Amino acid sequence: MSTYQNLKTEIKDGIFFLTINRPDKLNALNRQTIVEIGAAIKEAIADKSVIGIILTGEGPKAFAAGADIKEFMSLSGDQGKDMARSGQEIFQTIEDSPKPVIAAVNGFALGGGCELSMACHLRVASENAQFGQPEVNLGLIPGYGGTQRLVRYIGRTKALELTMTAAMLPAQQALQLGLVNYVVAPDALITKCVELLNVIKTKSPEAIGSAIRAINAYDGTMEGFEAELTEFGKCFTTEDIKEGINAFIEKRKPQFAGR
């Protein structure tokens, strides 16, 4: 495995644990950390032993409490745009991962941290988690995909309110709005994420990847339906569908090979 300056990584029972390791900075996302996250995600995707990824922050206080604001001080408009584009591309790598990525949100997920959590496929929050896009307090807006993904998850009206007021969203309210999948006690956070991946790993890896791509293609137009047709057809070219059907007929659990 690769070694990272601002991340801790570990593979255990097929799960790639990726931990942002800047607790003294509340795991703030400076540019190096974002680049390292992108590299670690690509490493996990390429590793055939990995069935899923859990992304979290070191310590109980923060998943990731925004960006490293000091890096913004001297940026021009074009430089700011380039920085945001780089962040968007890395976060898109997470969303496009054919292997499930679960955000284990332990504390603050603010600004870029909230955007990072939304790039993951599922979000499990501890009871003390808080989400928010407070960029307007700095004269900014979300730049790593937050304005788009927030609308997707909680709707336009609440996304506008949350972004314009810079309010923080407690875990239970985030659950009610559909931003997170589960809220659990802090000491049960990783356990719940592992539990979810242990269920997912019994399914066809090929089908999981197709489902992610089809759902990611949703945009309210017919293009999403076309993407579903394409991925549905691809499933019929895999060994997994043959195993799945045979197991169903033979009344046994399938043993998917991921091919």
**Annotated catalytic residue within 115, 127, 243, 250:** 115
135 is catalytic: yes
Q: Which residues of 60-88 are buried (b: 16+ CB within 10 A; e: fewer)?
A: eebbbbbbbeeeeeeeeeeeeeebbeebb
What's the rounded Cα separation, in Å, for the pair 32 and 34? Answer: 5
| 3-state SS, residue 93 | helix
Parallel/antiparallel/unpaired status of strands 122-126 and 182-184: parallel
Output the CA torsion sign for 122, 127, 133, 135: negative
Looking at the DSSP bridge assignments, the partners of residue 54 are 17, 102
**Residue 52 token pair:** 């899923």
The active-site residue out of 36, 43, 58, 135 is 135
Task: Give how far Cα 206 sits from Cα of 166, 216, 234, 239, 256, Å.
Answer: 40, 16, 9, 9, 9
Angle between the N-to-C axes of helices 239-249 and 205-216, in degrees from 0 to 180, rounded to the nearest 10: 110
Active-site positions read 115, 135
